[in-house]
Amino acid sequence: MIGRINHIAIAVPDVEKAALHWRDVLGADVSTVESLPEHGVRIVFVNAPNGKVELMEPLGETSPIAMFLQRNPDGGMHHICYEVSDITAACDHLTAKGARVLGNGTPKKGAHGNPVLFLHPKDFNGTLIELEEVR
Ligand SMILES: CC[C@H](C(=O)O)C(=O)SCCNC(=O)CCNC(=O)[C@H](O)C(C)(C)COP(=O)(O)OP(=O)(O)OC[C@H]1O[C@@H](n2cnc3c(N)ncnc32)[C@H](O)[C@@H]1OP(=O)(O)O
Ligand SMILES: [Co+2]
């Protein structure tokens, strides 16, 4: 069911500062900052030949990553995003297997404009998993 790793996400306290650090110290190819109010984050993509890292800063009072940063003030690894070919079929399969799909189970449009869902970290060895439909 899960396919390619689409991105690894890191929550950071200051996404501009983190992007400059990754660019100037690691020589990374970084995107411009994108605000995703519907997801409560501002993000920068760090592009690598075989995948992406998503640097994320909380946006707004109800950001879903605010508590994570309270627990980890310097930031930290936040989630892994896997690609799936059919997110509805994936959601049905995971629910049937007892995995918790976060939210009401309806996919939202992610940063790449594709439908995304999140799975509870407690069901996958303490790892938040995002699924992104890529046809
Ligand atoms: C979609 C746009 C973009 C893209 O790639 O396209 C993005 O990826 S946006 C990413 C931001 N959006 C989300 O992360 C949505 C899904 N996340 C959530 O709904 C929350 O973060 C949630 C429910 C996973 C955790 O929220 P919160 O920390 O406020 O809840 P709790 O304090 O109750 O935490 C419960 C329990 O889980 C542990 N936890 C929380 N976050 C993580 C994490 N990232 N990785 C591993 N574990 C996590 C937390 O420590 C609690 O554990 P406990 O032992 O009970 O203390
Ligand atoms: Co993501």
Query: 82 CA distance to ligand 2 centroid (A)?
Result: 9
ipTM of the complex, rounded to two decimals: 0.97
Which superfamily does CATH assign the domain made up of 5-133 to? 2,3-Dihydroxybiphenyl 1,2-Dioxygenase, domain 1 (3.10.180.10)
SS3 assignment, position 22: helix
Cβ–Cβ under 8 Å, residues 35 and 59: yes
Query: 54 CA distance to ligand 1 centroid (A)?
Result: 15
User: Cα angle at 35 between 11 and 45, to 5 degrees?
Assistant: 55
Mutate to test the pocket of ligand 1, among 68, 78, 82, 84 (most ligand atoms within 8 A of CB): 68
* Four-residue CA torsion sign, 38, 123, 56, 53: negative
Q: Which of 83, 130, 132, 133 is catalytic?
A: 130
Give residue limits of the domains in the chain: 5-133
Q: What is the pLDDT of residues 120-129, one digit of tens each?
A: 999 999 999 9
Q: What is the pTM of this model?
A: 0.96
Tell me what pLDDT residue 104 has: 87
88 band by pLDDT with thresholds 50, 70 and 90: very high
